């Protein structure tokens, strides 16, 4: 198709141009409502780069004036632009996220302020002597009341026999069974009430029930892809996509936590064995 023009130039020019400048001509193809423009350019290292731009052509109904304005001729700096957006001035960016401040987060934030107020309102400690709002050592009635209390307790234990020290009586009672501690004495955890119970692990995972593991993901997968893929099965609480720290590409697996176990089960059923990119996904319960 270019042959007439090529013939008109001398072969020497032709070779030079071919070596330095000539780029394959750009092509525009229409595939239904999709317009594809393939153009070529040279990089700084003189490598040939192929640029593929895909446009979607849409028809929209608009008011007369708007439609008229759409057909206006471009002017000013945009004078030489053809129809459609000029890629030099109009680009589509990577997606950005709009973060909603939900009430849930606000509820979580509130307790942060509370402890201070709590400290003000709650009692610092209780006096063993007068049950007042202060430490025992600082009790103003310490001298008077403590004697009184000793006398009283002595009277109660009168039948059991004389003035045995308090600690001794407690030691005697202990073997009979675990009793709620009445004094501030230290009791090892194993000896406390319910001491036989196994200790609580700090490793409790609340959302264990609704978490699924997706493996065999391709390198190009992003969190938003997973969101698109799994959103239809139910609302997602959390997506964790393992990324390579250096290359920022996916390591090939992800964990997705749903709000409900049913949606997770549905997701496993539907997506397991599903072909995504060029790989077949493997979806199972997270262990």
Burial of 210 (0-12, 13-18, 19+ CB in 10 A): buried
Query: Which of 3, 5, 65, 131 touches other proteins by CB under 8 A?
Result: 65
By the rule CB under 8 A, 62 interacts with other proteins: yes
What are the tokens at 269?
């059923």
11 versus 72: smaller Cβ distance to other proteins: 72
* DSSP summary character for residue 28: E
Q: Which residues of 241-278 are buried (b: 16+ CB within 10 A; e: fewer)?
A: beeeeeeeebebebbbbbeebebbbbbbeebeeeebee
What are the tokens at 147?
């004697």
Selection from 203, 252, 214 nearest residue 236 by Cα: 214
Asked if 123 and 133 count as a contact pair (C-beta separation under 8 A), the reply is yes
Query: Which of 41, 70, 150, 179 touches other proteins by CB under 8 A?
Result: 70
What are the tokens at 113?
């302020």
- Please tell me whether residue 184 adopts helix, strand or coil conformation: coil
Count of positions on this chain that bind other proteins (CB under 8 A)? 36
147 versus 235: smaller Cβ distance to other proteins: 235
Question: Could you say which residues in the range 74-103 bind other proteins, by CB under 8 A?
Answer: 74-79, 81, 84-86, 88-103
List the x/- string, 96-135, binding to other proteins by CB under 8 A. Answer: xxxxxxxx--------------------------------
Question: Could you say which residues in the range 208-237 bind other proteins, by CB under 8 A?
Answer: 224, 227
In the complex, least distance from residue 117 CB atom to other proteins, rounded to whole angstroms:
22
Residue 280, φ and ψ in degrees, nearest 5: -100, 120
In the complex, least distance from residue 40 CB atom to other proteins, rounded to whole angstroms:
23
127 versus 234: smaller Cβ distance to other proteins: 234
Query: Which of 69, 149, 179, 192 touches other proteins by CB under 8 A?
Result: 69
In the complex, least distance from residue 85 CB atom to other proteins, rounded to whole angstroms:
4
Question: Could you say which residues in the range 124-183 bind other proteins, by CB under 8 A?
Answer: none
Distance of CA 287 to the CA centre of its chain: 19
Question: Which of the ranges 59-67, 185-193, 259-267, 274-282 carries the binding residues for other proteins, by CB under 8 A?
Answer: 59-67
Selection from 111, 143, 138, 114 nearest residue 126 by Cα: 138
In the complex, least distance from residue 98 CB atom to other proteins, rounded to whole angstroms:
4
Residue with tokens 């709009």: 98
Residues forming contacts to other proteins in the complex (CB under 8 A) are 60, 62-63, 65-66, 69-70, 72, 74-79, 81, 84-86, 88-103, 224, 227
């Amino acid at each position: 198709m270019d042959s007439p023009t090529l013939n008109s130039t001398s072969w020497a020019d032709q070779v030079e141009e071919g070596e330095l400048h000539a780029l394959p001509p750009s092509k525009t193809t229409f595939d239904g409502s999709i317009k594809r423009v393939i153009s070529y350019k040279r990089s700084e290292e003189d490598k040939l780069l192929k640029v593929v731009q895909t446009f979607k052509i849409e028809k929209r109904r608009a008011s007369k004036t708007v439609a008229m304005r759409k057909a206006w001729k471009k002017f000013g700096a945009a004078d030489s632009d053809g129809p459609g957006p000029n890629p030099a001035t109009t680009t589509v960016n990577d997606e950005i996220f709009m973060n909603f401040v939900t009430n849930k987060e606000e509820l979580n934030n509130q307790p942060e302020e509370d402890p201070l107020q709590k400290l003000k309102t709650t009692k610092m400690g209780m006096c063993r002597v007068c049950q007042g709002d202060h430490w025992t050592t600082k009790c103003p009635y310490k001298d008077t009341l403590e004697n009184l209390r000793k006398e009283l307790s002595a009277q109660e234990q009168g039948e059991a026999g004389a003035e045995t020290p308090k600690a001794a009586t407690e030691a005697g009672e202990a073997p009979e069974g675990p009793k709620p501690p009445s004094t501030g004495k230290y009791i090892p955890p194993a000896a406390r009430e319910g001491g036989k119970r196994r200790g609580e692990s700090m490793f409790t995972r609340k959302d264990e029930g609704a978490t699924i593991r997706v493996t065999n993901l391709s390198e190009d997968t992003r969190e938003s892809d997973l969101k698109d893929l799994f959103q239809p099965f139910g609302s997602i609480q959390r997506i964790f996509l393992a990324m390579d720290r250096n290359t920022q590409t996916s390591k090939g697996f992800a964990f997705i936590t749903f709000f409900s176990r049913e949606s997770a089960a549905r997701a496993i059923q539907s997506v397991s064995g599903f072909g995504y990119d060029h790989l077949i996904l493997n979806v199972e319960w997270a262990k």
